[in-house]
Structure 1
């Protein structure tokens, strides 16, 4: 049954939470959580700079994060091959671990995110069952070990390791992945982004600071170390209490600022097409989930929770498309949570969005409880069906290859 889309002035007041208690005015219907994996080993170490030991004991899973799970493709078949993961395993960090691996610290962060969701959706509001059920909960991850393990740890925290059935974590092959900007599956995105990546380090202020930090650290120019790489290594060390050169202490804030400025330039949110190509199919999927719940057309009518385990490079363009990117890099285990509510009196559908546990007013929405139609319109510039996405991705005429 399609919920009523009418709206009145009194609903507007209620939706702001000032004239009515939202917990009594709205009934929660669906939750979708898009989250970043937890702390990990760096993707690359800053070369020749105070090497630290990334030893295997840093990766040991805490016993309370274990659940009975299987990783499959989207149809429940065998897990696809994982070229990104294979590329990590061609390199070894000092200490013997691979780049980009979820650590014990990261596993605990996701377990704690699961506990936070449990408090909110099991204990404070009896929305989810206290035991995992696949009819209620859908879990999808990028086909990379750290996001798969992050999903496992979140589920363990959310359901305190209680499960009726085995947890299926669904993945897809790299070519058709929608949970990150897909440079392999979208020719146009690869061409546009490679130019922007190359240019981002040559912007005047960034280039000057980069030269200064290279000089301070003794990094040779040919090593192509940019602020994003430096930040990645620094933040990974910080999360695990590992040292970095004292000279970086004075650069800490500048590294953060310049890395964010680089990624902002690369994604270029002022150009609608860039964000469409980065996260259009993912936004379309999440909007479709809302529509199917409202219209009662879902093939899984008892589904209440969608979990999407992804990356900082997923969250940043999503936050940009939502109009709430705060020029801060999303921390490990950051989450964007979409709640679908039904107004108890009018039956109207509302969406409430939070980022890292804080509610946000989306530009284009008349309240934090945003009428579904307004929310869909706010994202309509960026949401792309898979068919449209493929059509745009293949339209590379007149562009030079990277």
Structure 2
């Protein structure tokens, strides 16, 4: 019996958000969200019998959406929204390859409004308050656009003081750590190539039985991880088309088919279980988050940053999940997110152990609160294996990892000399 492929976004579930146990105060939230729905990164399966359109005219509602959401603020540059392409001598307003569509704009804006409902007690954004939030994107048009729409959901124009424009941060290519930076790290590139080759050796033979079902949609060619087109490209086109309501060949709506393709592709792209791969891929990003958490704890109200939103890609979400051994082996949907929430448990002074005479030296003694980190994905709490032992999580709530255990693992994953470690080994 055929089942329908689940390919849509996973909206933040505000109503069912699990409130933390009593005594825990939310101090800071780090969010890594995949961009919204986009066009495929190249044309595939456009010929009959698949007939998935080569050109996606997905800007039909762009003008009205631009006016109602983005047009009220000077943060949006129209040049990011439209591109003129020439097709057979005629100019049409089309989405270029890999670009955010109207549906992607709406889903990322909705993501922003959900963040607003979950995490922000809104008051008008004043000039002195901009440090409450931190917005950062990879230097790719679809993630920048996605973040612009998220920002408008978090801070609609009615909640911003005139002239206040929240900043969006983009790093240069060498310093970029929102992705596994294979361009700047040759050793990581070699490792990922090795992982991909290992996946080919395992999965191509498992894909072969699908040829009789799907090859006719691929110009008679076999479906392989290293084929033409690649299995990852087929999955990208099918998922993107289905998310936008285009007809997809029924074979690709069968979980017995698409499930095997997805398992093969996720193994090729995301199955990075070596410590070196994790360190070089996500170590710097996690170190950034850990340091910001520690800064928040040390400075308290002197560091007002509470909500940090990063727009990135499916590969980042999968890599974060793999790094903490909680990946579900499913391709991260559009607008899905990984969240790290920092909580504080205030310990009354009367319950804290005091070294005799130390409290009298008020300049040295400080009350010690407890801090916990909760990781979430697809509206679910992630129970991290690294925090399973007694003493490494909040008693009775294993999803709340102690900050010490979290920082210890991040420390193990942080390269001491990333540039040096990135040189290929002979």
Which TM-score band (shorter chain)? 0.7 to 0.9
Between 315-324 and 93-102, the greater mean CA deviation after superposition:
93-102
Contact 2:215 2:221 in 1 (8 A): no
Could you say which residue in structure 2 is the equivalent of 1:238? 242
In 1, Cα distance between equivalents of 2:114 and 2:245? 24
1:177 is aligned to 176
Counterparts of 2:314 and 2:342, CA distance in 1: 24
Count residues in correspondence: 354
CA distance 1:207–1:246, change in 2 (3 Å): closer
**Which residue is 2:12 aligned to?**
none
RMSD: 3.1
Counterpart for residue 338 of structure 1: 340
Q: Give how far 1:397 is off.
A: 3.1
Asked if residue 392 in structure 1 is aligned to residue 421 in structure 2, the reply is yes
Distance across 1 between alignment mates of 2:336 and 2:291: 23
Q: Distance in 2 between matches of 1:206 and 1:277?
A: 30
Given candidates 66, 69, 72, the residue that maps to 2:75 is: 69
User: Aligned pair 1:194/2:193, yes or no?
Assistant: yes
Give the match's secondary structure for 1:185: coil
Q: Does residue 224 of the first structure (1) align with residue 255 of the second (2)?
A: no
Equivalent residue of 2:328, what SS? coil
Q: 1:309 to 1:376 in 2, by over 3 A?
A: same
Equivalent residue, structure 2, for 1:364:
386
Residue of structure 2 aligned with 1:289, choices 269, 273, 292:
292
Contact 1:216-1:247 at 8 Å conserved across structures: no
Q: Conserved in 1, the CA contact under 8 Å of 2:84 and 2:94?
A: no
Q: Take 1:231 and 1:89, find their aligned partners in 2: how far apart are those partners?
A: 27
The alignment status of 1:152 with 2:143, answered yes or no, reads no
Quote the offset at 1:211 in angstroms: 4.1
Q: Equivalent residue for 1:135? A: 131
Residue by residue over 1:167-224, the C-alpha shift from the partner in whole angstroms, topping out at 9 and shown as x without a partner, is 2111122233111111211111222223433553443434414644552324354962
Distance (Å, rounded) in 1 between the aligned partners of 2:61 and 2:140: 15
Q: Using the alignment, how far apart are the partners of 1:198 and 1:259 within structure 2?
A: 16
The residue aligned with 1:42 is 40
Q: Distance in 2 between matches of 1:227 and 1:58?
A: 31
Query: Structure 2 length as normaliser, TM-score?
Result: 0.74
Query: Where does residue 315 of structure 1 map in the other structure?
Result: 317
- The 2-side partners of 1:282 and 1:91 are apart by 40
Structure 2 CA distance for partners of 1:22 and 1:95, relative to 1, 3 Å: closer
SS of 1:181's partner is coil
2:252 maps to: 248
Structure 1 pair 95/217, CA: closer, same or farther in 2 (3 Å)?
farther
- State the distance in 1 between where 2:140 and 2:42 align: 16
Shift of 1:353: 1.6
Q: Where does residue 118 of structure 1 map in the other structure?
A: 116
Distance change (3 Å), C-alpha of 1:224 and 1:207: same
State whether residues 273 and 323 of structure 2, in contact with CA within 8 Å, keep that contact through their aligned partners in structure 1: no
Q: CA deviation at 1:141?
A: 0.2
Which residue of 1 is the match for residue 366 of structure 2? none
CA distance in 2, matches of 1:291, 1:307: 18
SS at match of 2:99: coil
Could you tell me which runs of 5 or more consecutive residues in structure 2 were left unpaired when the two chains were aligned: 1-18, 78-82, 349-368, 388-392
**Which of 159, 163, 166 is the aligned partner of 2:160?**
163
Structure 2: how far apart are the matches of 1:92 and 1:312?
A: 30
1:104 equivalent in alignment to 2:135: no
Distance 1:90 1:278, change over 3 A: farther
2:4 maps to which residue? none
Distance in 2 of aligned mates of 1:147 and 1:219: 33
Deviation readout 1:125-162 (Å, 9 max, x if unpaired): x3x64647421111110001110111111111122333
TM-score, length of structure 1 as denominator length = 0.79
1:343 CA drift (Å): 0.3
Kindly indicate whether the alpha-carbon contact (under 8 Å) linking 1:111 and 1:157 is maintained by their aligned counterparts in 2. yes
Bigger Rg, which one: 2
